[in-house]
Amino acid sequence: MDTKNIKNAVDPQFFKEHQESLYQALEDKHTTIELMDEEDPLNTKMILNMGPQHPATHGVLRLILQLNGELIEKAKLDIGYLHRGVEKIAENKTYQEFMPYTDRMDYLSPYSNNVALCTAVEKIADVEVPERAHYIRMIGCELARISSHLLWLGTMVMDAGAVSFFIWTFREREKLYDIFDNIGGHRFTISHARIGGVANDLTDDALAMIKEFVNEFPKELNDFHGLLDRNRIFFDRNREVGVLTPERALEIGATGPTLRGSGYAYDIRDFEPYARYDEVDFEIPTRLEGDNLARYYVRMEEMQQSIRIIEQCLDKLPKGPVRTDNAKQAYPSKDEVYYSMEGMIHDFMMTDTGICPPEGEESYHAVEGPKGELGYYIKSDGTGHPWRLSINSPSFKNLQALEDMLDGEMVADTVVIIGGVDPVMGEADK
Amino acid sequence: MDLELSDSLQNVIDDLSENFTDSLVNVYQSTGDTFVQIEAEAVADICQYLFDEHRFIYLSDLFGSDNFTSEDRFEVYYNLISLRDRERLFLKACLPEENPELDSVTDVWKSASWLEREVYDMFGIKFRNHPDFRRIFMPEDYNYHPMRKEFPLLGIPGSIELPSTTPDTE
C-alpha cells in the first residue's frame, strides 16, 4: 500500500470529509518524519484502523496507527462517537435535574461526578453543607474510586492476557454495588448527592457493609499485589511501556494517576481541599518512571489510601442532618413534603425552578475523580438553569496524552497502554 | 471592587498590569476565583509571559462561552495552574460575533491542542497557528457549531448523514 498518500488509498463510506481530514492529519503528523522508502518489498508499512468498536479500547475509541512492521510510527485518535452534548443539555435543565446526566459521564464512578456537580453549584450559590453530609460524600467518593480502579485493574490485566483476574476484581466490585444499592437505592448510576447535602442518611445496614468491606478489602488487595507484583509476564508487559516523562506529562496535560505516575503529586484533594479532605490523613502516591507499571503502582496505592480515608471518615462521622435545612437552597426532607403544605410547595418549587445562583456569578470547582481533576465551571444568569456549564473531564486530557504516548511503541502494546491510561469515553466525549 | 488576593497572585496581577498595561482589561473575582480579562490579540504573549515568569506550567482547561450579545459575544477561558505557588488563575478573552479568531497557545502548552479543537467544534472560534486544526467531536462534514446559543437543543434534522445500516450488497 502506498502509505505516502494515505488519503487517496482509502474510500470512506460515510462522513467523507471527516475521514479524509483524519487521514490527512495522520499524514501531516510530525512534519519532520522521515520519508518512507519508495521500495517496500516486504510490505511492512501499513495503516491500521482500530476501533471504534474494538472491545479492548474501553469504549468507542478509534485509533489510526501507521505501522512499520510491529512499530507504531505515528498514531492519531478519533473521538466523539459517544458525543451526546451534555453541556448543551445542562443549559436546558435545572441544576438538580442535570445530576443524573453526570452519572453517565464517567460511568465507572458515578458518585464522584455527582459530588463534583453539587460542590460546584454549592460554591456558586453559597450553600452551606452539613458536616455529616461532607463525610458521607467522602465515603461515597472513595468507594467510587476503589470501584473505578478495580475495573481498571481487571481490564488492564485482561488486556495483558489474564482473563480470570477480571472475575476476581468484579467480585469485589459486586460488593461495592451492593453497598451503593444500600446507600442510595441504585447499584450503578446512584445520584445520591443532592445540592446542599445528600439524599438520605446512611442506614445501619449500609454502615455495617462499608465497615465489613473496609476490613476485608485490604486482604484482597494484598492478594492482588501478591499475584501481580512479581509476575514475570505482567511485569514485562508493563515495564518501560508507554513511558511519559515528567516534562512531557505536564506539557501534554495528563492528569490524575497518569500525571502522578510521572512524578507530579498533583491531587485536587490536596491542592484545593474540598469537603473535609483537609481533616483526614492520606498520602499521594507518586512514581517517577512514568511507564505503565508506575501507573499500576500508583492506582494500587491509591486504593489503599482510599481505605484509610474511609476508615477515618467512619471514625469521625458526626451526628446531625444530612441536608441543609433551607427551602430556598435544597430539597426539604420527605417527612416535610408529605405532612406539611409548605414542605410540598418548597418541594414543587425546587423541582420547577430549582436553586438560583446570583446573576453574573462564575465559579469553577474541581474534585479529584478516579481519573483525575474533574472540574465544573458554571456561569449563572440568575435563573434556575446554568447559562454555561463547562466540564473539565480528565479522560479527555489523558487521551490527548495517549496520542502522544503511542508514537514509537509496539503495536502489541497498544491495548496495554490504553488500559494503563484508563480512559472512559462517556466522559471524554461529553 | 476590592480584591482579596494571595501574595503570589497579587504579584502576578501587579506584574501583568506593569508589563501589559494596554492589554489588561479587567481583573475581578467571583466566588473566590480570580479572573483576568485580557485583549484577544495579547493572549499568546501573556500566556507565554505567565508560563516563563510565573511558572503557570500546567493548563488545566480551556473552554468557550457564548454570551449571545451583539458585542463581545464569545469568551474563551484559560484555566492555568502554578504548581510552585499552588495557585489557579483564569484568563479570559472576549471575541466579536463576526469571524472570532484567536492565536493558538499550543506553543506554550501542547495540551491546548485538543482543547482548542473542542472550542472550535462547539463555538466556531478559529485558532491561528494551530498544528492540527480539525473538529474533534462532530464529523468534519458537519456545518454547525452546536454549543452556540442559536443552535436548537434537539439538533437540526437531516444535518448529519448517518451510515447505512444495511450490509453491503457487493
- The 10s digit of each residue's pLDDT in A242-260 is 888 888 888 888 998 999 9
Mean pLDDT, chain B, rounded, equals 86
In this structure, the dihedral spanned by the alpha carbons of residues A237, A239, A241 and A245, taken in order and rounded to 10 degrees, is 170
In a domain, B92, yes or no: yes
- Does the pLDDT of residue B140 top 80, yes or no? yes
pLDDT tier for residue A43 given thresholds of 50, 70 and 90? low
Count Cβ neighbours within 10 Å for each residue of A275-314 and write b for 16 or more, e otherwise: bbbeebebebbbbebbbbbbbbbbbbbbbbbbbbbbbbbe
Residue contact A251–B60, C-beta within 8 A: no
In a domain, B64, yes or no: yes
In a domain, B153, yes or no: no
Q: CA Rg, chain A, in Å?
A: 23
- Does the pLDDT of residue A172 top 70, yes or no? yes
Report pLDDT digits (tens) over A183-236: 888 888 888 888 888 888 888 898 999 999 999 999 989 988 888 888 888 888
In a domain, B147, yes or no: no
Lowest mean pLDDT among A21-35, A122-136, A333-347, B105-119: A21-35
- Does the pLDDT of residue A10 top 70, yes or no? no
Residue contact A25–B134, C-beta within 8 A: yes
- Does the pLDDT of residue A32 top 50, yes or no? no
- Does the pLDDT of residue A25 top 80, yes or no? no
pLDDT tier for residue A1 given thresholds of 50, 70 and 90? very low
In a domain, B93, yes or no: yes
* Chain A residues touching residue B111 (CB < 8 angstroms): 251-253, 397, 400
Residue contact A362–B137, C-beta within 8 A: no
Report pLDDT digits (tens) over A128-164: 899 999 999 999 999 999 999 999 888 888 887 788 8
CATH number of the domain within which B43 lies? 3.30.460.80
Cβ-Cβ contacts under 8 Å between A and B: the total is 119
Query: What ipTM was reported for this prediction?
Result: 0.89
pLDDT of residue A337: 87
- Three-state secondary structure string covering A362-405: EEEEEEEECCEEEEEEEEECCCCCEEEEEEECHHHHHHHHHHHH
pLDDT tier for residue A35 given thresholds of 50, 70 and 90? very low
Which residue does chain B place closest to A403, by CA atoms? B114
- Does the pLDDT of residue A313 top 50, yes or no? yes
Domains and CATH numbers, chain A: 3-78 (no CATH), 86-325+354-428 (1.10.645.10)
Report pLDDT digits (tens) over A383-422: 889 999 999 999 999 999 988 888 888 888 888 888 888 8
- Does the pLDDT of residue A264 top 80, yes or no? yes
In a domain, B138, yes or no: no
B83: nearest CB among A15, A266, A388: A266
pLDDT tier for residue A7 given thresholds of 50, 70 and 90? low
- Contact at 8 Å (CB) between A203 and A138? no
pLDDT top residue among A185 and A36: A185
- Does the pLDDT of residue B169 top 70, yes or no? no
Q: Percentage of chain B surpassing pLDDT 70? A: 96
The stretch A6-32 carries a mean pLDDT of 70
Number of domains in chain B: 1
In a domain, B103, yes or no: yes
What is the extent of the structural domain holding B82? 7-128
The stretch A95-109 carries a mean pLDDT of 88
Other Cβ atoms within 10 Å of A48 Cβ, number: 13
Residue contact A17–B141, C-beta within 8 A: yes
Q: What is the pTM of this model?
A: 0.86
The stretch A20-47 carries a mean pLDDT of 64
Mean pLDDT, chain A, rounded, equals 85
Residue contact B137–A79, C-beta within 8 A: yes
Q: Which three cell numbers stand for residue A56?
A: 479492548
